[in-house]
Copies of this chain bind each other. A is one copy, B any other.
Amino acid sequence: MRVAVVKNILDANSRIAQENRRLFDTHRLTVINLMSSPGAGKTTLLEQMGKHFGGHLKIGVIEGDIQTTLDAERVAAAGLQAVQIETDGACHLDANMIQNALADLDLAALDLVVVENVGNLVCPAEFNIGEDHKVMMLSVTEGDDKPYKYPLMFKESRVLLISKIDLLPHLRCDIEKIKEAARSINPDLIIFEISSYTGQGLEDWHSWIQEQTAGK
C-alpha cells in the first residue's frame, strides 16, 4: 500500500518535471538544483555569484525554505531575480512547487535559474524538478564521513562543492577523505573546494557555470 502511494507520487513528480524541462528548453535556460544540509553556505554562494556575474549572466533564484523569506531577501539584495517557496513543513522541493514558482520569474530575461532547495542532505535528492544538474554542497564542518552516510545525494549530483575550506585549520576534517569517499560513490563527480566567505576557489566554479550556459 505505502509503496504504491510513494510510486504514484514519484510518477506524478516525474511527469511535471518533464513539463518544467520543456519550459526551460523553450527559454534556453540552464537550471541548477542546489542542495545541502542546513547552513552549508548555499545562500552565501548565490550572493557571491550575483556579485561576480553582475549583469553579464542573468540569474534567477527559486528559494526553498520551510518557513521565512529571509533567503529570497538576501539574494534579491545581491541583484538576482528571486522567488521564495515556503514549503510549510515539507522537507524538500518537488516539481510541482517549482512549476508554480516559475510563473513568478521572467524566464525570457534569464540565462540561469538556481533552485536553492530546503536544507536537508537526504530527501531533496529523491525528487527531480526538471533541472540540468543537481549540485550539492558539503561543508567541511560536517565532517569527512558524510559521503558514506548519505550516499544518495553524492550519487545523484554532477558537482560537489566542498565549502567553508577557510575553517579547515580549526577542524578535525580530512578533505582528501571527503573526496575519496565521494568518488567511490560517484566516480564522475566534479569537485570544487571553495570558501564563499574568503572567495577562495570560486573562479573554477564560476567558469563551470559559464560553460554550462555558453552552449545554450
User: Which residues does A use to contact B, with CB under 8 Å?
Assistant: 1-2, 5, 9, 37-39, 65-68, 70, 89, 91, 118-123, 139, 141-143, 145-146, 148-152, 164, 166-167, 170-172, 197
Complex: how many Å from CA A152 to CA B211? 40
Asked whether A122 and B66 contact (CB < 8 A) given A2-B9, A39-B143, the answer is yes
A198 → B minimal CB distance (Å)? 11
Q: Select the residue from A66, A123, A149, A166 with max chain B CB neighbours within 10 A.
A: A149
A143 → B minimal CB distance (Å)? 4
B91 and A149 contact, CB distance less than 8 A: no
Copy count, this protein chain: 2
Residues of B within 8 A of A171 (CB): 167
Interface of A is mostly: loop
Residues of B within 8 A of A172 (CB): 197
B70 and A150 contact, CB distance less than 8 A: no
Residues of B within 8 A of A141 (CB): 39, 139, 141, 164, 167
B123 and A123 contact, CB distance less than 8 A: yes
23 chain-A/chain-B pairs, Cβ below 8 angstroms:
A5-B5, A37-B37, A37-B38, A37-B142, A38-B149, A39-B142, A39-B143, A39-B146, A65-B149, A66-B151, A66-B152, A67-B148, A67-B151, A68-B149, A91-B123, A119-B121, A120-B121, A120-B122, A120-B123, A167-B167, A167-B171, A170-B170, A172-B197
Complex: how many Å from CA A119 to CA B139? 14
